[in-house]
Amino acid sequence: MNRHLSFLGTVTLLLAISIANASAKDKPSQTFLKKAIEGNFAEVSMGDLAQKNGQSDDVKSYGKMLSADHAAANQKALDAAKGLGVNPPTGPNAKQKADYDKMAKMSGSAFDKMFATHMVADHQKDIAEYMKASKLKDPAGEYASGQIDTLRKHFDTAKSLKPGK
């Protein structure tokens, strides 16, 4: 009887270790996807805001592109999250909401300038995070790899925005 209990204890311990290892391995993917989904929600909102509060046609056009591209990207990120069993966020994080609220009070050339600056910095950071995540060997890595060209396009376009045109 004691040998059976000892065997069961060993099997339980090995199972717990294997579950812990699987969870630790999935953690970077889960963390990345949660941040990516929050970011996509934030970019869609910012794109909508640019169309409403922007002064220049370039900023409004960029906002439209941003909303469309990040809405499509978010669907892919949500699919990847589902594939990994991640419970996805339903909107932007607190900092992203605060950034939106700050810019929502602005309009015209002041908005255009702040928006362009924010988009350059934001997409520069995103590209670095997506490059790192693209090395993951799972749906999160596949998602990240597929978005890098779009993020670079957004970054380059944001750098070319001329506020107040």
Question: Residue 53 — pLDDT band, cuts 50, 70, 90?
Answer: very high
Question: Do residues 41 and 92 make contact, with C-beta atoms less than 8 angstroms apart?
Answer: yes
Residue (of 126, 118, 129) closest to 151 by Cα position: 126
Tell me the torsion sign for CA atoms 94, 33, 132, 18: positive
Give the Cβ contact number of residue 115 at 10 Å. 27
8-17, 79-88, 126-135, 148-157: least confident range? 8-17
Give the pair of three-digit tokens for residue 123. 């997409």
Give the Cβ contact number of residue 54 at 10 Å. 27
| Residues 99-147: tens digit of each pLDDT | 999 999 999 999 999 999 999 999 999 999 999 999 999 999 999 999 9
Domains and CATH numbers, the chain: 28-160 (1.20.1260.10)
